[in-house]
Amino acid sequence: MKEIKIVLTQTNTIVSKTLKALSKKTYNHISISLVEDCSTMFSFGRKIVWFPLLGGFVKEDVNEGVFKMHPETKCKIYKLDVTDDDYNTIITRLNNFLAEPNSFKYSFLNILLMYFNIPFQRKYYFVCSSFVSYLLNGIVPLGKEISLVIPDDYNSLNLDAVYEGRLHDFVNNKTTCCNI
């Protein structure tokens, strides 16, 4: 068995606050981490910290980029134990993104379509939740098309919540693992 982390976050960026106002959800971004302390995460988001309209596949670090600019970022972290085969499937899928990171784009269209519950997935275009759901497709029972999954959907799955609080504190070991 291997362990991965699913990380839901809410920053204070204008985009994140707007999504929160529209969705009425606590967390509006999701990432996946393959390391215990979530020091490295993968998702879809802004490629340039100060310019939210240029997005795509990103490797996230709490001490860089948007998370560094917003150390007050709130999070909820779930632990997911997966079989070795499932872990290898996730790694294989992730390696496709790592091999050609600039081929993948953020799908602003999907944000609009998700709001109206219209499934639509284009090759090379993802939002954070469709990316994580793509990696976990067939491993975690999502119950809907990956293009319609929102970060909050992970709160209703049978996952083991290990932490809720400031992301910066968790990653920089300023809190205990199971602060729920």
Residue 42 pairs with which residues in a beta bridge? 32, 59
Q: Where are the beta strands (DSSP E) in 61-159?
A: 74-82, 105-106, 125-126
Q: What is the pLDDT of residue 80?
A: 97
Residue of 174 and 126 predicted with greater confidence: 126
In a domain, 146, yes or no: yes
Q: What is the CATH number of the domain that holds 148?
A: 3.90.1720
CA distance 66 to 112: 23
Q: What is the pLDDT of residues 38-91, one digit of tens each?
A: 999 999 998 877 777 789 999 999 989 899 988 999 999 999 999 999 999 999
- 176 in any annotated domain: no
| Per-residue pLDDT tens digits for 12-40 | 788 888 877 777 889 999 999 999 999 99
Question: What is the C-alpha separation between 52 and 49, in angstroms, rounded?
Answer: 7
pLDDT of residue 176: 52
Has residue 144 been placed in a domain? yes
On the question of pLDDT at 179 being above 80, the answer is no
Does 180 map to a domain?
Answer: no
Predicted TM-score (pTM) of the model is 0.92
Query: Is there a domain that residue 177 lies in?
Result: no
Residue 7: the pLDDT is: 98
Q: In this structure, is residue 179 part of a structural domain?
A: no
pLDDT for the residue 13: 82
Whole-number average pLDDT of the chain = 91
Residue 178 domain-assigned (yes or no): no
Q: Is the pLDDT of residue 175 over 90?
A: no
Sequence-separated (6 or more) residues with CB below 8 Å from residue 109: 120, 122, 125
Q: Closest by alpha carbon to 37, among 159, 180, 168?
A: 168
Tokens describing residue 159: 């996952």
With beta carbons less than 8 A apart as the criterion, state whether 10 and 20 touch. yes
Domain that includes residue 81, residue range: 2-171
Please name which of 75, 101, 84 lies closest in space to residue 175, comparing C-alpha atoms.
75
Q: What is the mean pLDDT of residues 112-137?
A: 95
Q: Which residues pair with 76 in a beta bridge?
A: 8, 164
Please report whether residue 123 resides in a domain: yes
As a whole number, mean pLDDT of residues 92-113 equals 95
Number of structural domains the chain divides into = 1
